[in-house]
Amino acid sequence: MSDKAYALFEEQQQQRGIDLKQVKSRLKALNIETPSWGYGDSGTRFKVFQKTGVPRDPYEKLEDAAQVHAVTGLCPSVAIHIPWDKVDDYGKLRSHAEILGLKIGAINPNLFQDEDYMLGSVTNVDPAIRRKAINHLLECVDIAKETDSNDFSLWFADGTNYPGQGDIRKRKNWMLEALREMYKALTPDMRMLIEYKAFEPAFYHTDIADWGMAYHYATKLGPQAQVLVDTGHHLPGANVEHIVAFLMDEQRLGGFHFNSYKYADDDLIVGSANPYELFLIFYQILNAAQDVDADIRHAVDKIAYLIDQSHNIEPKIPAMIRSVLNVQTQYAKALLINHAEVEEAASRQDVLGAEDAVRQAFEFDVAPLLKAIREEQGLPADPMKAYLASEYGAQILQRGKGGASW
Ligand code: AOS
Ligand code: ZN
Ligand code: ZN
Ligand code: ZN
């Protein structure tokens, strides 16, 4: 890419009234957390494929994550899953991260893999199992103190497969009880990000099935509880950007689990199937970032962007690099929306004009812009190429097969 391409881009955007200085500073501030489980072996309900070279323990997962950050400059933190990333000494895991230039990010409790949880964890009819599940949540709060993490991504597999299998109202209240006990254990900087999911693994009812239920629990709990939007957790046709706008206006949008969605919780590379949806999500976020209400603007800065993907057939580190670059690209495009122009057309009730003002931004090629900021940050102009040219991919093959999986 020549400087000529950037000069042309700059001229074009300046003519549209876009403040490129602000665009660049926002782009440089973008952080996307990657998940430890995205580096390990994973599969579908039919098969877990064992790849050569996957990390054998949580330490090696962090090492792979550091590669993604090194070439993209976008991923300074890594979410961990307990007990998949269980270690004897979390302080040691934290210093390992720090040596690699990383931070441990969100803690994900696991309340779905224990035999005891077959019929539910925090909403199980058996009080002993509910107790065990709550204790795990509290254990995760302790782990967060050791890893210096502030966020918890809370996803519950709890639900039923058949009418009558569980008392839906009782389960609703057990859920609240569990969340309340965890909430009380939080330190003031901690946040509970409550995830919802329409279905799977339960297929008749899921205890937290949609954003309204997650929002309900968040408001019952208090300001340190917010909603986490996993882009793959909706029923077909859901308008995810509407949910995002609504939650931001209530200051309850805690964060995202990004992945690509076509049929259900596909957990594939974000932006691969529906980049326009991702762009429109960022449009809503950037719209809120200009709100007259300072609290709403402030809440926008606290949104946690997390990747929640498991790569079954694709090489894991390049797949993660592709994912975060896709997010960066759509964010860059959304930053080119001229909000005044959209608003002006909308106020004239010019439907096509307003739509055009939004879509126009999507149609620009942002490659010159991204190359320019990477250069300014001392990053490789083409992060994927830089990773593939490095020795790392070949080096990790020495780990052999049979690495950590979920
Ligand atoms: C499950 O469908 C959810 O997306 C969770 O966030 C889950 O913890 C994550 O996918 C890791 O399994
Ligand atoms: Zn998720
Ligand atoms: Zn998902
Ligand atoms: Zn999911």
**pLDDT tens-digit map of 186-203:** 999 999 999 999 999 999
- pLDDT value of position 257: 98
What the block records as the tokens of 227 is 């909603």
* 373 is a domain residue: no
Overall average pLDDT of the 270-293 stretch: 97
Q: What is the pLDDT of residues 146-198, one digit of tens each?
A: 999 999 999 999 999 999 999 999 999 999 999 999 999 999 999 999 999 99
What own/partner pairs with CB < 8 Å and gap ≥ 24 does 4-8 have? 5/367, 5/368, 6/368, 6/369, 6/371, 6/372, 8/368
DSSP per-residue codes, 183-196: HHH--TT-EEEEE-
Q: What is the pLDDT of residues 297-311, one digit of tens each?
A: 999 999 999 999 989
Distance, CA of 41 to CA of 55 (rounded, Å): 8
* 158 is a domain residue: yes
- pLDDT value of position 301: 95
- Alpha carbon of 308 to ligand 2 centroid (Å): 5
- pLDDT value of position 47: 83
Share above pLDDT 90 across residues of the chain, in percent, rounded to a whole number: 93
- Whose C-alpha lies nearest to ligand 1, atom 8? 155
Overall average pLDDT of the 49-60 stretch: 93
DSSP 3-state of 350: coil
- pLDDT value of position 2: 65
- pLDDT value of position 44: 80
- Whose C-alpha lies nearest to ligand 1, atom 6? 155
Q: Is the pLDDT of residue 64 over 70?
A: yes
pLDDT category of residue 368 using cuts at 50, 70 and 90:
very high
Q: Is the pLDDT of residue 1 over 90?
A: no
What the block records as the tokens of 318 is 């390049």
Phi and psi angles of residue 306, each rounded to the nearest 5 degrees, phi first: -125, 145
pLDDT category of residue 4 using cuts at 50, 70 and 90:
very high
* 298 is a domain residue: yes
HSE (side-chain half, CA atoms, 13 Å) at 7: 3
Ligand 1 pocket check for 197: Cβ under 6 Å: yes
* 7 is a domain residue: no
CATH number at residue 125: 3.20.20.150
- pLDDT value of position 400: 85
* 364 is a domain residue: no
Overall average pLDDT of the 322-350 stretch: 98
Ligand 1 pocket check for 85: Cβ under 6 Å: no
- Whose C-alpha lies nearest to ligand 1, atom 1? 155
DSSP 3-state of 370: helix
Index of the ligand 1 atom closest to the CA of residue 110? 8
Q: Is the pLDDT of residue 405 over 90?
A: no
- pLDDT value of position 158: 98
- pLDDT value of position 343: 98
Q: Is the pLDDT of residue 93 over 70?
A: yes
Distance, CA of 7 to CA of 3 (rounded, Å): 6
* 50 is a domain residue: yes
Provide the sign of the torsion angle of the four alpha carbons 110, 111, 112, 113, taken in this order: positive
Number of domains in the chain: 1
Index of the ligand 1 atom closest to the CA of residue 195? 6
Ligand 1 pocket check for 234: Cβ under 6 Å: no
- Whose C-alpha lies nearest to ligand 1, atom 9? 308
CA nearest to 210, candidates 190, 184, 228: 228
Q: Is the pLDDT of residue 403 over 90?
A: no
pLDDT category of residue 406 using cuts at 50, 70 and 90:
low
What range does the domain containing 149 cover?
30-334
DSSP 3-state of 271: coil
- Alpha carbon of 123 to ligand 3 centroid (Å): 22
Q: Between 159 and 45, where is the model more confident?
A: 159
Mean pLDDT of the chain: 96
Ligand 1 pocket check for 149: Cβ under 6 Å: no
- Alpha carbon of 37 to ligand 1 centroid (Å): 10
Cβ distance 158 to 202 under 8 Å? yes
Overall average pLDDT of the 231-240 stretch: 97
- pLDDT value of position 36: 97
Index of the ligand 1 atom closest to the CA of residue 155? 5
Overall average pLDDT of the 357-381 stretch: 98
Ligand 1 pocket check for 308: Cβ under 6 Å: yes
Cα angle at 197 between 51 and 320, to 5 degrees?
30
Alpha helices in 82-190 (DSSP H): 90-99, 127-147, 168-185
* 44 is a domain residue: yes
Q: Is the pLDDT of residue 61 over 90?
A: yes
* 197 is a domain residue: yes
